[in-house]
C-alpha cells in the first residue's frame, strides 16, 4: 500500500545512523562453547530422571485388589476406556467432549477401536495353553445371555472392593458370580506372571511399538494415578508440565496447565476441549500480533523498549 | 539447446535470462548479498543483552540436535542401561531446557521491541510457529522416554489431544509413532523454520528503535514503508 500513512507499530524508517563492528561468527562460537559448558555443568549436577515404568505385572503384584477391581470393569464395560467414546469406542451419550456444535472428537470417530472385555480379559486369557478349567469359565461366560453376564459381573463388582489376596489368589466373599470370579482370578494370576503385558502387545507381528492397550488399562486403575499423585503429577497439581523428581519438566506448558486449575475448565466435563480452544486462540493471537491494531501497539505503550535500547536513547 | 565451447553467460546466451536456475540464483544474490548475509557491522542500537538470546537459542538448538543424534545412533533403550547413555540423555534434557528458556526471553524481547515493524512480520510469525512446533517436539520427546514420565504424560495428555479430534491420528500412547515424530518430523520442521527465520533476520536486518527521542528526526514521508503483501 504505497503511500499509506506511517504507522509506528507497523513501519519503521530505514536506519541512517552510525554502525559499529559486530563479529557475528565470534559471538556464535563463544555462545556455542559457553552454552555447551552450562549444559555439561547442569548434567553433572542434576543428571536426568528415569523412574522405571509401571507394568501390568508390577501393578498386579503390588496392588492385586486394585487390578482385579479394574479388570472387572473392563469385563463388564464400565471402565474409563469402555465409556470413553472416540477414538476408542463409539460415542455414547455425553462421552465425547463438545462446545455447542463443535465436537471434533465425535466427528473423527473411532480410529483405535478397543473392546475392553475382549481385548483386556477374554482375548488374553484365551492365549493361555492347557487351562481346561479356565476354558470352561470363558465358554460359560460366552454362552450366557447378556443379562446373565451382567448379573454375575454386577455381583462381583460389589464385593471386589473388599477382596483379599491370599495364597497367590484374589479371594472374594461367597456369592453367585458364575464364572466371573474364576475369570478375574485367572487374569490377575496371568498379570502377576508378566504374561498379560506381552499378550496386550500382540499385534500379529513379532515387533510391536504400540502401547495403547496396556497404557489405557493402566490408566483405568487407581495404582498409576496414586503413583502420579505421590509425585505431584496429577492434573490438579499442575502435573502436565512436571516430571518425576525436582526437575523443571515442560515449564513452557505453564499457561496450558494453568487453565486446568481455574473454573469453569477445572470441573467441566468438556474441560480438555475448552482448554485447547483457549490455547489455540491465544497462539493464533500471538502469531498475528503484528496484524492486530491495538495489540501491536502494546510494546510502544509499555515503553519497555526504552530499557532495551537505553544506550541508543541516552545518546540520542 | 545451444552448445558453447566456453561457459555461457547471459551476454553470450540470452536464453539464460529465462532459465529457472539463473533466476533463482539472481533472486538469492539480490536478497542475500554477502555483506547482508554475514555482516561485520551492526547499527549502533544493537547494543543490549537481549540480542544475545537469539544466538543463545540457536546454539542451544544445535546442542539439542547433536545430543539427540547421539541418542539416535545408539537407539532408544541405550540411555536406560548405560551410564554414558544417561549422561548423553541428561545433556539432551538440559539443552532442551536452556533452548526454551532462551527462546522465551528472545520472544518477549522481540515483542517489546515490536520487531515485526518494517516488513518483518513474516519473521515474527515464523518465530512464533517455530516456538509452537518446538513445544510439540519436546512433548513427543517426553513421550518417547520409555519410563514412568512417558506413561504418565501419555495417559494424561491423551484426553486433551483426543478432545480436539487429533487423537484419531496422533496417538500419544503409540510409542513408535511418537518416537518418529520426535526424531524425524518435528525436528525437521524446527530446523527448517529456524533456518528460514535466521535468513529473514539477515534479509531485513535488526529492527531499529522507535523514533521517539528528543532530537531524533521523525520519519519522513519518503521513508514510509509499503504494506507487506
Task: Give the tens place of pLDDT for each residue, B87-141.
Answer: 999 999 999 999 999 999 999 999 999 999 999 999 999 999 999 999 999 999 9
- What contacts A134, CB < 8 A, 6 or more positions away? A125, A128, A182, A183, A186
Confirm or reject contact between A255 and chain B (CB < 8 A).
no
pLDDT at B189: 98
Task: For residue B57, tell me if it sits in a domain.
Answer: yes
Residue B1 has pLDDT above 80, yes or no: no
Asked whether the beta carbons of residue B160 and residue A10 sit closer than 8 angstroms, the reply is no
Task: For residue A90, tell me if it sits in a domain.
Answer: yes
- Statement to judge: residues B99 and B122 lie in one domain: no
Nearest chain A Cα distance for residue B85, angstroms: 11
Radius of gyration of chain A (CA): 29
Asked whether the beta carbons of residue A1 and residue B226 sit closer than 8 angstroms, the reply is yes
Query: Which of B92, B113, B134 lies at the terminal end of a domain, its last residue?
Result: B113
Task: For residue A16, tell me if it sits in a domain.
Answer: no
- Statement to judge: residues B104 and B164 lie in one domain: no
The answer to whether the beta carbons of residues B75 and A55 sit under 8 Å apart is no
Task: For residue B144, tell me if it sits in a domain.
Answer: yes
Task: For residue B20, tell me if it sits in a domain.
Answer: no
Whole-model pTM over 0.80: yes
| Mean pLDDT of the A70-93 span | 90
pLDDT > 90 fraction of chain A, expressed in percent and rounded = 75
- Statement to judge: residues B79 and B153 lie in one domain: no
The answer to whether the beta carbons of residues B208 and A12 sit under 8 Å apart is yes
Nearest chain A Cα distance for residue B150, angstroms: 8
Q: What is the sign of the dihedral through the CA atoms of B97, B103, B107 and B113?
A: positive
- Per DSSP (E only), the strands in A133-261 are 164-166, 169-171
Structural domain that includes position A135: 56-224
- Statement to judge: residues B145 and B163 lie in one domain: yes
CATH number of the domain at B142, please: 1.20.810.10
pLDDT per position as a tens digit, B15-32: 888 889 999 999 999 999
Instruction: Output the average pLDDT for chain A.
Output: 92
- Statement to judge: residues B134 and B185 lie in one domain: yes
- Statement to judge: residues B137 and B96 lie in one domain: no
**Total domain count, chain B:** 2
Task: For residue A28, tell me if it sits in a domain.
Answer: no
Task: For residue B162, tell me if it sits in a domain.
Answer: yes
Chain A residues in contact with B183 by the CB 8 A cut-off are none
Task: For residue A19, tell me if it sits in a domain.
Answer: no
Task: For residue B34, tell me if it sits in a domain.
Answer: no
- Statement to judge: residues B109 and B119 lie in one domain: no
Task: For residue B24, tell me if it sits in a domain.
Answer: no
- Statement to judge: residues B90 and B144 lie in one domain: no
Q: Work out the angle between the directed axes of helices A64-76 and A146-160 (0-180°, nearest 10).
A: 160
Paired strand residues for B42:
A20
Task: For residue A254, tell me if it sits in a domain.
Answer: no
Structural domain that includes position B69: 48-113
- What contacts B80, CB < 8 A, 6 or more positions away? A50, B86, B146, B147
pLDDT at B223: 39
Confirm or reject contact between A266 and chain B (CB < 8 A).
no
Interface with chain A: mutation pick from B132, B169, B210, B229, highest number of A CBs within 10 Å: B210
- Statement to judge: residues B102 and B155 lie in one domain: no
Asked whether the beta carbons of residue A216 and residue B155 sit closer than 8 angstroms, the reply is yes
- What contacts A61, CB < 8 A, 6 or more positions away? A192
- Statement to judge: residues B83 and B136 lie in one domain: no
The span from the CA of A75 to the CA of B96, in Å, is: 43
**Total domain count, chain A:** 1
Nearest chain B Cα distance for residue A166, angstroms: 29
SS3 state at A39 = helix
- Statement to judge: residues B64 and B101 lie in one domain: yes
Amino acid at each position: 500500500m504505497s503511500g499509506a500513512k506511517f504507522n509506528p507499530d507497523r513501519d519503521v524508517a530505514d536506519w541512517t545512523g552510525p554502525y559499529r563492528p559486530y563479529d557475528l561468527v565470534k559471538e556464535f562460537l563463544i555462545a556455542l562453547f559457553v552454552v555447551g559448558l552450562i549444559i555439561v555443568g547442569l548434567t553433572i549436577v542434576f543428571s536426568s530422571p528415569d523412574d522405571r515404568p509401571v507394568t501390568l505385572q508390577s501393578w498386579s503384584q503390588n496392588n492385586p485388589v486394585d487390578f482385579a477391581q479394574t479388570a472387572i470393569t473392563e469385563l463388564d464395560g464400565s471402565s474409563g476406556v469402555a465409556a470413553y467414546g472416540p477414538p476408542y469406542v463409539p460415542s455414547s451419550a455425553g462421552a465425547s467432549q463438545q462446545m455447542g456444535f463443535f465436537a471434533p472428537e465425535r466427528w473423527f470417530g473411532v480410529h483405535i477401536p478397543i473392546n475392553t472385555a475382549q481385548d483386556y480379559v477374554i482375548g488374553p486369557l484365551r492365549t493361555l495353553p492347557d487351562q481346561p478349567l479356565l476354558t470352561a469359565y470363558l465358554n460359560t461366560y460366552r454362552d450366557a445371555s447378556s443379562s446373565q453376564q451382567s448379573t454375575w459381573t454386577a455381583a462381583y463388582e460389589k464385593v471386589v472392593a473388599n477382596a483379599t489376596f491370599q495364597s497367590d489368589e484374589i479371594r472374594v466373599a461367597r456369592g453367585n458370580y458364575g464364572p466371573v470370579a474364576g475369570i478375574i482370578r485367572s487374569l490377575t494370576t496371568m498379570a502377576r506372571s508378566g504374561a498379560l503385558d506381552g499378550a496386550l502387545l500382540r499385534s500379529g507381528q513379532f515387533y510391536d511399538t504400540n502401547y495403547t492397550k496396556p497404557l489405557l488399562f493402566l490408566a483405568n486403575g487407581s495404582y498409576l494415578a496414586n503413583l502420579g499423585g505421590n509425585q505431584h503429577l496429577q492434573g490438579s497439581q499442575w502435573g502436565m508440565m512436571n516430571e518425576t523428581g525436582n526437575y523443571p519438566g515442560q515449564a513452557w506448558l505453564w499457561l496450558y496447565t494453568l487453565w486446568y486449575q481455574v473454573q469453569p475448565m477445572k470441573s467441566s466435563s468438556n474441560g480438555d476441549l475448552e482448554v485447547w480452544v483457549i490455547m489455540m486462540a491465544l497462539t493464533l493471537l500471538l502469531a498475528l500480533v503484528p496484524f492486530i491494531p491495538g495489540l501491536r501497539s502494546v510494546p510502544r505503550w509499555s515503553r519497555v523498549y526504552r530499557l532495551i535500547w537505553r544506550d541508543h536513547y541516552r545518546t540520542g | 539447446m545451444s552448445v558453447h565451447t566456453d561457459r555461457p553467460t547471459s551476454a553470450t546466451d540470452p536464453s539464460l535470462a529465462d532459465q529457472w536456475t539463473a533466476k533463482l540464483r539472481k533472486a538469492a544474490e539480490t536478497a542475500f548479498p554477502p555483506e547482508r548475509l554475514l555482516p561485520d557491522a551492526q547499527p549502533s542500537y544493537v547494543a543490549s543483552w537481549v540480542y544475545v538470546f537469539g544466538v543463545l537459542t540457536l546454539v542451544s538448538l544445535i546442542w539439542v540436535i547433536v545430543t539427540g543424534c547421539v541418542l539416535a545412533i545408539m537407539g532408544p533403550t541405550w540411555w536406560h542401561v548405560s551410564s554414558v547413555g544417561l549422561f548423553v540423555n541428561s545433556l539432551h534434557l538440559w539443552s532442551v531446557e536452556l533452548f526454551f528458556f532462551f527462546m522465551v526471553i528472545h520472544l518477549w524481547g522481540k515483542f517489546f521491541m515490536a520487531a515485526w515493524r518494517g516488513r518483518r512480520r513474516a519473521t515474527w510469525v515464523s518465530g512464533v510457529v517455530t516456538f509452537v512446533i518446538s513445544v510439540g517436539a519436546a512433548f513427543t520427546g517426553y513421550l518417547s522416554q520409555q519410563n514412568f514420565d512417558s506413561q504418565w504424560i501419555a495417559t494424561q495428555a491423551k484426553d486433551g489431544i483426543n478432545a480436539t479430534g487429533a487423537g484419531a491420528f496422533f496417538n500419544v500412547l503409540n510409542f513408535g509413532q511418537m518416537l518418529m515424530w520426535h526424531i524425524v518430523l518435528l525436528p525437521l520442521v524446527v530446523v527448517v523454520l529456524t533456518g528460514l527465520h535466521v535468513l529473514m533476520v539477515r534479509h531485513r536486518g535488526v529492527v531499529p528503535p522507535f523514533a521517539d527521542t528528543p532530537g531524533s528526526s521523525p520519519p519522513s514521508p519518503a521513508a514510509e514503508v509499503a504494506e507487506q503483501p
